[in-house]
Structure 1
Amino acid sequence: MELGVLGGVQVRSAAGSVDLGHARRRTVLAVLLVEPNEPQPVDRLVERVWGDRAPHRAHTALYGYVHRLRRALAGGGGTRIVRAGGGYQLDVDEAAVDLHRFRDLVRRARAADDERAFALLDEALGLWRGEALSGVDSPWLDRVRRTLHLERAEAELHRNDVGLRSGRHHALLAPIWAQAEARPLDERLAGQLMLVLYHCGRQADALEHYRRVCRALADELGVVPGPQLREVHHRILTGAPPRAAEARR
């Protein structure tokens, strides 16, 4: 059985997708998936599922959702929801949950050489299916969602650095371009795009992107680029081959 939150909340068994029911039931499962194999007291679950909008009989509603989720997860090997610590706990192999597999791959990439790190980060980022926790909503899950997207962005930046050092310039151009469009004020990412454009023989485009970033930083934040990005610009402007590490901030 495979469980996921890096996109919509989903469960897949050997027979296919498992019907989890309506959004609030999927919200309960999402909360348990973020911190599996740990007891979640009922009051904590209620707060994480509903925030300050819990219904009058929230404990009863939660019991009903858990009961139906248990039935949905039946036959999933060791994956089950059990009573624990005055509440509930999701027992699951964390390797079966995309979020925890993503974090493990990113952690392993930090200690690997560039060739292995690039493959690990590629695999980690390939687990994402869209916006994390899409289709479920609560104040706590909103905070988790923001954290997860920051983790994804950092993994992308790490992968870009590794790929630039490894000379994968043409393969990196499209993904880095898309990332830069999504995060136009990220100076580290801007430097990476300028480097990959330069190494793909597009010096003029690299310099034009720098001008766009300067305008965006001035208009949105009232600041100028930091010293690292200015140095990347200077070296591209003068035709001195910049190093990948100089895109970092």
Structure 2
Amino acid sequence: MAFEVRLLGAVEALGDGVAVELGHARQRCVLVALAVEANRPVSYDQLVTRVWGDAPPRQPRAALYGYLYRLRQVLSDVPDVALARVPGCYRMVVDPDAVDLHRFERLVARARRAEDDARRVALYDEALALWRGEAFTGLDTPWLSTVRMALEQQRSVAEADRTDAALRLGRHQEVLAVLTARTAAHPLDERLAGQLMLALHGLGRTAEALAVYQRVRRRLAEELGADPGEALRAVHRRVLQTPVLTVTPAPTWRAVVTPVTRLPVEATTSAVPGPRW
């Protein structure tokens, strides 16, 4: 791939493997605002909102034109990318797979359509390997924060879906350490708790699996005044009623995620939908 834009970590661009000098933070924000909408027009007003939020400079359009001019200059000799000017808008013309954010979403979509779990795990691994840290590391505007939250949710759901597939393949030992760390970080996450229970039960550690359930049940009652949901209760019954699992039955968890390309184009502080099991 001759040109790449990397957004899932520090913002970078490469042309034929050589780093492109993208300038300072505001100029990088302009690149991000266009790359997130690869091949779709973004108006000047939308760019100003995305780059400065509610605190634009005194002459925002002049500043924006300067950033766009310099970006067009540094990208002019880079193959397979262009910043096209259309009436009232700019558009980044690029192969979507050259932008890691879009490649991640496309790989996740392919994983969900895969016909078998081995292929599903491989596609999830390829997608998750694109992440190098927090999206847009070092950049911060209200719009970027909204997109970052949506991406983090997509990443979390992809990790959980990958774990479900690995459990169905009987890879209990492989996922155990990661699940232990994730449940410690998110002690009220019932999906993670259910996955950890299945991994422990699959390794013959049924008493520990049941202890996970009791621990989550107590914390839910104490902190939220709630009982475990039906999906986690179903896992609990499965652990009680079945012998040590070699291959786990398909979990019943479901999640709603919002692809970043479907976020309202002028969103700044809107909430990202959370998981719904």
Return the offset for 1:129. Answer: 1.0
- Residue pair 2:194, 2:235 contacting (<8 A) in 1 also: yes
Task: Structure 2: state its 5+ residue gaps.
Answer: 254-276
1:241, CA displacement in angstroms?
Answer: 4.3
Mapped to 2, the partners of 1:62 and 1:24 lie a distance apart of 9
- 5 Å-filtered alignment, 1:9-158, equals 9-113=11-115, 114-158=117-161
The one of 172, 175, 179 aligned to 1:176: 179
Percent sequence identity over aligned pairs = 51
**C-alpha contact (below 8 Å) 2:96/2:102 kept by paired residues:** yes
Which stretches of structure 1, 4 residues or longer, exceed 3 Å deviation after superposition? 237-244
Q: CA deviation at 1:15?
A: 4.6
What CA RMSD, in Å, does the superposition of the two structures yield over aligned residues? Answer: 1.9
Aligned to 1:229: 232
Write the letter of the residue equivalent to 2:60. Answer: A
TM-score of the aligned structures, taking structure 2 as reference length: 0.83
Conserved? CA contact 2:213–2:236, under 8 Å: yes
Distance 2:138 2:162 in 1: 28
User: Which structure dedicates a bigger proportion of its chain to helix?
Assistant: 1
Check whether the contact 1:48–1:141 (CA below 8 A) recurs between aligned residues.
yes
Partner SS, residue 7 of structure 1: coil
The 3-state SS of whatever aligns with 1:12 is: strand
Secondary structure at 2:14's aligned position in 1? strand
The answer to whether the 8 Å contact 2:15/2:79 transfers is no
Instruction: Provide the secondary structure at the position in 2 that maps to 1:196.
Output: helix
How far apart in 1 are the matches of 2:217 and 2:23? 48
Residue equivalent to 1:190: 193
Residue 221 of structure 2 contacts residue 227 of structure 2 at CA under 8 Å; is this kept in 1? yes
Structure 2 Cα separation of the partners of residues 150 and 142 of structure 1: 12
The answer (yes or no) to whether the contact 2:198–2:209 under 8 Å persists in 1 is yes
Alignment gaps of 5+ in structure 1? none
Which of residues 149, 164, 168 is equivalent to 1:165? 168
Moved more, 34-43 or 6-15: 6-15
Give 1:236 deviation, angstroms.
Answer: 2.4
Q: Would you say the 8 A contact 1:40–1:85 is kept in 2?
A: no
- TM-superposed CA distance for 1:47, in Å, is 1.1
Cα distance in 1 for partners of 2:20, 2:99 equals: 15
Q: 2:205 aligns with which of 177, 202, 205?
A: 202
Contact 1:192 1:247 in 2 (8 A): no
Q: TM-score, normalised by structure 1?
A: 0.92
Letter of the 1:80 counterpart: A
What secondary structure is seen at the aligned counterpart in 1 of 2:164? helix
SS in 2 for 1:136: coil
How far, CA to CA, are the matches of 1:12 and 1:216 in structure 2?
47
Task: Indicate how the Cα distance of structure 1 residues 90 and 24 shifts in structure 2: closer, same or farther if over 3 A, else same.
Answer: same
Equivalenced residues, count: 249
